[in-house]
Amino acid sequence: MAETSFDVIIIGSGPGGYVAAIRAAQLGMKTAMIERDLLGGICLNWGCIPTKALLRSSEIAHLLGHLGEYGFAAKEWSFDLKKIVERSRKVAGQLSGGVAFLMKKNKVTVFEGSGVLAGKGKVKVSGKTTAELTAKHIIIASGARARALPGLEPDGKLVWTYKEAMVPPSMPKSLLVIGSGAIGIEFASFYRNLGADVTVVEVLDRILPVEDEEISAFARKSFEKQGMTIMTGATVKSLKKDSDSVTATVEAGGKTSEIKADRAILAIGIVGNVENLGLDGTKVKVEKTHIVVDQWMATGEPDVYAIGDVIGPPWLAHKAMHEGVICIEHIAGLKTAHPLNVLNVPGCTYCTPQVASIGLTEKAAKAAGREVKIGRFPFIGNGKAIAMGEPEGMVKTVFDAKTGELLGAHMIGAEVTELIQGYAIAKTLESTEQELIETIFPHPTISETMHEAVLAAYGRALHI
């Protein structure tokens, strides 16, 4: 008979859940994890990882469209959508298997089924595995799912969520993307690079609305240059489904128009998975579909914690992982445990060109009453970017004018999702402009744009 008494029980095996389980095991805690579907959760199986595999294929398609610029010629090229999707699913499967290995390596007991709170320190598991478990501490890491609105419900055939968009049976000739956050823009970029006519509709006044306004404007110009149609300040009022197409009624600027497309993708946010967890009758508080927690991820119910997407934005895997570690180290009583500073969480969007950012935007910094110094540097002034054939991009920095504190950094261009970590380290170390100015960046690299954007904030840029 499997063991049923643990120090920690974690409901959900996404990035937050499985990292929390590993850290708990490292600290000598007897740990159980409950997963109703695939190990790794949405991120590894239907989110971060498989979408990056798809986007890698679309990046290759983008490069193939510019072969002549690199001295190559091909009369024609084609792609096999089925193989692109198969590769993506294989990558996801490999990583899900990797989580299973890590659980076994760290002696974490995995229960296959749904976990429900069943009283103080108790969790009932039902599904492939049936069990009644007890633990000193319980962590909810149940994740989130795509949001749907009345009249815009997905049907899996004509109106997709991210899940259907990752496994298309055929290539749509035209696509309507509703929502321009990271998920919507990544799919818009993927399908556009593979030749689909893409229209993006955003209810707010700009795309990528969480990004700095200059980056949003730069991205829109780039996407439109690639052939995307972008409508902002626009609301999709209804979706009419025909046999093999969908027609959207869109209202913008007081005028109504119709957009017909083969398929539509809903990317209008996510809602927390708070149902069927046994929260009724507990002191766990839920607001706007998300569990409310304190700085240590504790809920209102003693010894019950929550981490990851189920507790709200930013909905990022690396944020969930960090929360898992914070939560476990707090439970363990480690003095090194420290609360999460959300301004030190980088965000990345893997479109073409890529977008990455951390900290405050210029507008947010000014709204907070900060006097700021702003630095900007274009990729066209960087030798490596030009040599790579990727001169389209920019880096923007936001500093506190009085203290020199790096308040935020915002980037668009090739490989910026890899580069943003440099600014993340700087913010964690509480670096000022002086340390960043004195840091030597290797040449020739795109990372030099980061140095120049710091220099530019203080009137010292060298290459513009």
Please list the active-site residues.
443
- What's the rounded Cα separation, in Å, for the pair 202 and 355? 18
Q: How far apart are the first and last CA of the chain?
A: 70
Q: 442 burial class (0-12, 13-18, 19+ CB within 10 angstroms)?
A: exposed
- What is the β-pairing status of strands 131-140 and 5-11? parallel
- Element of type H or E holding 346: none
> 33 phi and psi, to 5 degrees?
-130, 135
> Are the C-beta atoms of 306 and 299 separated by less than 8 Å?
yes
- What's the rounded Cα separation, in Å, for the pair 267 and 209? 13
Q: 140 burial class (0-12, 13-18, 19+ CB within 10 angstroms)?
A: buried
Going by C-alpha positions, the residue among 290, 21, 19 that lies closest to residue 144 is: 290
- What's the rounded Cα separation, in Å, for the pair 439 and 268? 41
What six digits make up the tokens of 124? 């009932």
> Are the C-beta atoms of 126 and 35 separated by less than 8 Å?
no
- What's the rounded Cα separation, in Å, for the pair 430 and 436? 11
- What's the rounded Cα separation, in Å, for the pair 85 and 168? 8
Give how far the C-alpha of residue 101 lies from the chain's centroid of Cα atoms, to the nearest Å: 25
> 209 phi and psi, to 5 degrees?
-65, -20
Q: 377 burial class (0-12, 13-18, 19+ CB within 10 angstroms)?
A: buried
* Residue tagged 């708070």 (tokens): 274
> Number of H helices and number of E strands within the chain?
13, 24
- What's the rounded Cα separation, in Å, for the pair 76 and 383? 31
What six digits make up the tokens of 351? 């479109």
What six digits make up the tokens of 455? 């220099």
